[in-house]
Structure formats: structure tokens, C-alpha cells
Amino acid sequence: EVQLVESGGNLVQPGGSLRLSCAASGFTFDDYAMHWVRQAPGKGLEWVSGISWNSGSIGYADSVKGRFTITRDNAKNSLYLQMNSLRAEDTALYYCAKGITFGGVIINDAFDIWGQGTLVTVSS
């Protein structure tokens, strides 16, 4: 079964840091680009970041650029999001999502598999 399982979400103070993880199974992880998408409580979807199969192509939303870093470990079938200088507006459910295009070279892609999400709350 194709599956993505996020972890690492927590309550953190403004200015703090957090590292999210996404464990992939059921497909060849290094054949696809991967992404993080977030959803603030009661709000819509916001693409956060994406990474190609070999980390050669990486992109960020303007709202997180310079504060968040996306990485992947293909040997561990895992995706990560290091989040620094967190703000109240970063409070959201963070989803890990798989790009649909085989090869994983491009990050401009639709997302065919999603995890259940991990909740990040930034509050004092």
C-alpha cells in the first residue's frame, strides 16, 4: 500500500524551531519529487516547498523562504522540513505529498498521494 506518514508536529513558541518528517512506503521513493503543503485551521491549502528526486531542484513559497529548509534521504525513504523562526501564521496542518510524474526531475507537478498531516501550533 502506498503510504505517507508525517510526524514531528508540536506546540512551539514564536521564534522556535521544529523538524517535520515524512516516511514513505509502497513506492520507489527516489523516482518522484516530494512536497509539503499546509492548511491553517479552517482555511485553504498552501503549497510550502518541493524537492526533486536528487535534491537538484528545490522551491519554496515566499512566506517561508529563508526560514524553512526541505531535504530528503532516499536511503531512508524520508522527507523532512526544518522550520526555523516560526511565527503564529505558520500554525497549520502540514501535509507531505508525492508528485505524480515518474522520474522526479521536475517539481512543478500535481500531487497524487497525501499523508494525513501533522499539526504545528506556534503560540506562546
Partner 1 sequence: IVMTQSPDSLAVSLGERATINCKSSQSLLYRSHNKNYLAWYQQKPGHPPKLLIYWASTRESGVPDRFSGSGSGTDFTLTISSLQAEDVAVYYCQQYYGTPPYTFGQGTKLEIK
Specify the stretch interacting with partner 1 by CB under 8 A; choose among 7-15, 17-25, 38-46, 81-89: 38-46
The b/e string for 38-70 (b: 16+ C-beta within 10 A; e otherwise) is beeeeeeeeebbbbbbeeeeebbeeebeeebbb
Q: Which is nearer to partner 1, 73 or 112 (CB)?
A: 112
Q: Is 32 in the site for partner 1 (CB under 8 A)?
A: no
The amino acid at residue 99 is G
- CA-CA distances (angstroms) from residue 87 to 26, 37, 43, 49, 102? 35, 17, 17, 17, 35
> Cell match 485551521: residue?
41
| Rounded (5°) CA angle 112-114-115 | 160
Specify the stretch interacting with partner 1 by CB under 8 A; choose among 16-24, 44-52, 67-75, 82-90: 44-52
Residues 82-121 binding partner 1 (CB under 8 A) are 95, 100, 107-112, 114-117
Q: Which is nearer to partner 1, 15 or 65 (CB)?
A: 65
Q: Which is nearer to partner 1, 70 or 86 (CB)?
A: 70
From 59, 74, 77, 121, residue interacting with partner 1 (rule: CB under 8 A) = 59
